[in-house]
Structure 1
């Protein structure tokens, strides 16, 4: 006989009654202007559903704003925060939530507040561009971290020694960082799993309709790889090498050697599956990344050029205009 969802939850809660009831874990989300509503909602829905399945308040969460109580998300919606930095409660964990434009990310006052929390045994984490804030606060030294793949060139330009991975989320000596998006669900379910049993995790993933719970070892998908998921592995490997070296472009001969094919075979693979030569495809990757940095960061145009492998501003401008019909300066103004 199959059990309905409500009866399953009741049965699960009764099985967990023997677990000693501790004080709720208090989790704060520092929402910087332009934060992702998807990131915040994904995290809090996992916590809400966990409480419902347990039949008790195992987790409390607080939306914290830097100063004003109302914070605007990246989708334009305004969210009224529970607290500000001035009256934030004692927390067990805090996640810094930010998008590409990290307003207030350079605030010395904010950095001091974050470091004080960590000294007070609060476990600090970051979602999306929150990683930038922790790097500016000098809280990532020597620790592995991650951020959304679109931010990687910008972050490494700002912090060359950053131990940045392509993983969906990272855990290193108490520090949790996540690339954002649906990966927030994976990370938070994993957080729950460290405290509660397999029964709860199975029910939680069913409730949230998570088909496959991804792990810390899973890598982010980055364009254009999703388009090429069914293409030859040698081609995907070549593209990964290209994406990882936009700042210092490699020769087709070197890439071919790395993936174990001849240069001529590499040329055939690219023309057959992408319609472009390796060189043209590589250039398009670099220009797409440049466009993203121009649209979504405040990096000076010259720094953007360097970040995508151009040593000459005029060459960068010429190539960009050929591709997008605008110069980089015009793109930034637009």
Structure 2
């Protein structure tokens, strides 16, 4: 799902009856959040059901759809979402449609039980995949031609599978990261996190890192220190000393846990905080640079443009024209 930043990435969603509401939200809400944070449409989506009727979720809240799934030669990624009783919808007609559309789609994704439907249609043959942990052994026995992997989500070329709602949220963050960078994925992840003990109200105060899970307490401590020192960034050596490890070891821990170097995460925190000030206030850019830990307006502008592909003034001008 890599894309050119200047165009909108469209996604089609085929939602089967009895799908959990949270599963649908796990796909759509990160895309909506990315659009909101970027201040532009990076993603769009259309929902379909097998028969064109609204999807009655397990919570009893219906999801309206654009119509029945009747693909032609669409190339957009297709996400197949299902939670319970997927076999009731797996008609020969629907499986034929999936087989036909797979010839043109750049990506086919089985979300939770949607992976069963893809496998049943032979669309996961010779791919690596995952599914919900409760169904893992049954899935592996039923489809030996699929290489099963005990992961939260699996991206194997043109096929994607997930093991549940929260793993799907993780997947969407990863797709956003690949398309638009770590800073945006980080900021999207933080929209879904609430921490009661944090009571400061200023815009630079940000919550812990959310769904990019921190499994090492020392990395977690370093991340909290970064959040608390946005205005006056610490050196790597000072960060490492505060959490009780060497600078080299903290770098290694960070890469293993977060997938990026400490300085990349630190810079993403500072730029995201600065971007909120650019969008939500009328502060001078020099002042925003100072409270975001940049030595000068020029260094701030260079970093901002490198991350967001526009200058701070261009962001404000674009949003002013939009409004």
Settle same-fold status: TM greater than 0.5: yes
Post-superposition offset of 1:147: 0.5
1:211 equivalent to 2:195? Answer: no
Task: Provide the C-alpha distance between the structure 2 equivalents of 1:192 and 1:207, rounded to a whole number of angstroms.
Answer: 14
Task: Provide the C-alpha distance between the structure 2 equivalents of 1:138 and 1:20, rounded to a whole number of angstroms.
Answer: 31
Q: Map 1:1-334 to 2 at 5 A.
A: 22-86=6-70, 90-209=74-193, 210-214=209-213
Post-superposition offset of 1:116: 2.0
1:60 is paired with a residue of what secondary structure? strand
Instruction: Write out per-residue CA displacement over residues 146-181 of structure 1, whole angstroms, 9 at most, x where no aligned residue.
Output: 000111233234223331222100011221100112
Post-superposition offset of 1:212: 4.4
TM norm structure 1: 0.55
Task: Provide the C-alpha distance between the structure 1 equivalents of 2:189 and 2:81, rounded to a whole number of angstroms.
Answer: 23
Post-superposition offset of 1:199: 2.1
1:52 is paired with a residue of what secondary structure? helix
Post-superposition offset of 1:214: 4.6
Post-superposition offset of 1:185: 1.1
Post-superposition offset of 1:205: 2.0
Conserved in 2, the CA contact under 8 Å of 1:36 and 1:97? Answer: no
Gapped regions of structure 1 (runs ≥ 5): 1-18, 216-334
Instruction: Write out per-residue CA displacement over residues 106-138 of structure 1, whole angstroms, 9 at most, x where no aligned residue.
Output: 322212212222211331001111111011100
TM norm structure 2: 0.56
Post-superposition offset of 1:74: 2.0
Instruction: Write out per-residue CA displacement over residues 176-204 of structure 1, whole angstroms, 9 at most, x where no aligned residue.
Output: 10011211111001001111122212222
1:167 is paired with a residue of what secondary structure? coil
Task: Provide the C-alpha distance between the structure 1 equivalents of 2:89 and 2:154, rounded to a whole number of angstroms.
Answer: 21
1:151 is paired with a residue of what secondary structure? helix
Task: Provide the C-alpha distance between the structure 1 equivalents of 2:82 and 2:105, rounded to a whole number of angstroms.
Answer: 23
Rate the CA distance shift 1:138–1:50 in 2: closer, same or farther, 3 A. Answer: same
- CA-based RMSD of the aligned residues comes to 2.3
Task: Provide the C-alpha distance between the structure 1 equivalents of 2:119 and 2:183, rounded to a whole number of angstroms.
Answer: 37
Rate the CA distance shift 1:76–1:103 in 2: closer, same or farther, 3 A. Answer: farther
Post-superposition offset of 1:84: 1.6
Post-superposition offset of 1:68: 3.0
Task: Provide the C-alpha distance between the structure 1 equivalents of 2:71 and 2:126, rounded to a whole number of angstroms.
Answer: 31
Task: Provide the C-alpha distance between the structure 2 equivalents of 1:99 and 1:77, rounded to a whole number of angstroms.
Answer: 15
1:67 is paired with a residue of what secondary structure? coil
Post-superposition offset of 1:86: 2.8
Conserved in 2, the CA contact under 8 Å of 1:62 and 1:83? Answer: no
Task: Provide the C-alpha distance between the structure 2 equivalents of 1:144 and 1:119, rounded to a whole number of angstroms.
Answer: 19
Conserved in 2, the CA contact under 8 Å of 1:29 and 1:96? Answer: yes
Task: Provide the C-alpha distance between the structure 2 equivalents of 1:97 and 1:20, rounded to a whole number of angstroms.
Answer: 26
Q: Detail structure 1 runs of 4+ shifted over 6 Å in the superposition.
A: none
Aligned length: 197
1:190 is paired with a residue of what secondary structure? helix
